[in-house]
Amino acid sequence: MHRNAYVLLCLTTLFWGGNVVAGRLAVGHASPMILTTLRWVIGVVILYAFALPHLRRDWPEIKRNLPLLAALGAFGFTGFNAVFYSAAQFTSAINIAIEQGAIPMVIFIANFVLFRMQVTGLQMVGFLLSLFGVVLVASHGEPARLLELDMNFGDALMLGAVLLYAGYTVGLRLKPNIHWLSLMFVLSLAAFFASLPLLAWEVGTGRFIAPDTQGLMVLFYAALFPSVLAQILYIRGNELIGGNRAGLFINLVPIFGTLLSIAILGEAFYLYHGVALLLVLGGIWIAEHSGRRQAALAAGGGANPAP
């Protein structure tokens, strides 16, 4: 059972890491906003066929929480992906992959500020290590450049995307108790509607690029693998080994994203990339290990239950 979960979760993070490469491959072949809009059109169509029975049962709860669900879909799905694909226009896929490693640490800080979750010394050490790793990448190995505000625009955008997805993840604590297919469909539908003003802006400013053959290949990959299939595999992995242990596999996204960027795009891998990768992943591991141990002690030494 555990071996099956490991395979499913590794595939999940591989698909998410591949989305980094997809964003770079789309440059010049499909503009960011049309890619975001069509991605959710495909996702909504696929999910509707499976979600309909659950939507009928969950509708009263969905209706009561519609503003929250709409906000989660708008910021977590459309906001993140629009900024993510825009960042890919200006910075390398390796940078994007490693900077995504900051998401768990931002979630950690947000939970502390908003929900007063207790913080250990090791968690703070882990946070600082990961933060420095992201700074190292964003400054291209020269942190002093940040003091001069000399930062690649794409890296700045990606840090904004990190904040959006972290906020979405923290907001999921407030989601109603509905079936995951209902949740995915409603969030995807909200994401589609939220993307329309951005698409209109893209067309109106002359930035629109209709997808060509390569753009369509990127679109179908993004819609099928990171958006739909990865979510299904991740949920199944959670069922098999629990949410806390499954969450650790998210740390593989920067690794897969970096390796795929080198293998497929032929991007250069510099020493500061390696150092940053070690800092980000090491910091996350230290923080999460400390958090799990703290939870186990609070529960009297028993296993930490899945959320």
39-72 pLDDT, tens digit each: 999 999 999 988 999 999 999 999 999 999 999 9
Asked whether the beta carbons of 216 and 34 are under 8 A apart, the reply is: no
Q: Nearest Cα to 74, choosing from 154, 173, 225, 186?
A: 186
What is the structure's pLDDT at 301?
Answer: 46
Question: What single DSSP character describes residue 140?
Answer: T
> Which comes out higher in pLDDT, residue 122 or 20?
20
Average pLDDT for 246-268? 79
In one letter, which amino acid is 107? I
What is the structure's pLDDT at 201?
Answer: 96
Contacts of residue 204, defined as CB under 8 A and 6 or more positions apart, other chains included, come to none
Asked whether the beta carbons of 190 and 182 are under 8 A apart, the reply is: no
Which range is least confidently modeled, 46-55, 116-125, 193-202, 288-297? Answer: 288-297
- Compute the 3-state secondary structure of the chain and give helix, strand, coil in percent, each to the nearest 5: 80, 0, 20
What is the structure's pLDDT at 283?
Answer: 76
Answer yes or no: is pLDDT of 175 > 60: yes
Answer yes or no: is pLDDT of 3 > 80: no
Answer yes or no: is pLDDT of 282 > 50: yes
Domain boundary assignment for the chain: 2-298
What is the structure's pLDDT at 270?
Answer: 83
Tokens of 266: 């032929």
Q: How much of the chain, in percent, has pLDDT values that exceed 70?
A: 83
Cα–Cα distance for residue pair 40/43, rounded to 1 Å: 5
Answer yes or no: is pLDDT of 240 > 80: no
Average pLDDT for 123-139? 74
Asked whether the beta carbons of 25 and 221 are under 8 A apart, the reply is: no
What is the structure's pLDDT at 269?
Answer: 83
Answer yes or no: is pLDDT of 265 > 80: yes
What is the structure's pLDDT at 41?
Answer: 94
Answer yes or no: is pLDDT of 35 > 50: yes
What is the structure's pLDDT at 79?
Answer: 92
The overall average pLDDT reported for the chain is 82
What is the structure's pLDDT at 143?
Answer: 73
Per the rule left: phi > 0, alpha: psi between -120 and 50, beta: everything else, 144 is: alpha
What is the structure's pLDDT at 166?
Answer: 84
Answer yes or no: is pLDDT of 303 > 70: no
pTM, two decimal places: 0.77
Band the pLDDT of 119: cuts 50, 70, 90: low
Q: How much of the chain, in percent, has pLDDT values that exceed 90?
A: 30
> Which comes out higher in pLDDT, residue 91 or 120?
91
Please return the burial class of 233, using the count of CB atoms within 10 Å of its CB with bins 0-12, 13-18 and 19+. buried
Cα–Cα distance for residue pair 150/157, rounded to 1 Å: 14
The dihedrals phi and psi of 143, each to the nearest 5 degrees, come to -55, -30
Average pLDDT for 18-36? 91
What is the structure's pLDDT at 118?
Answer: 66
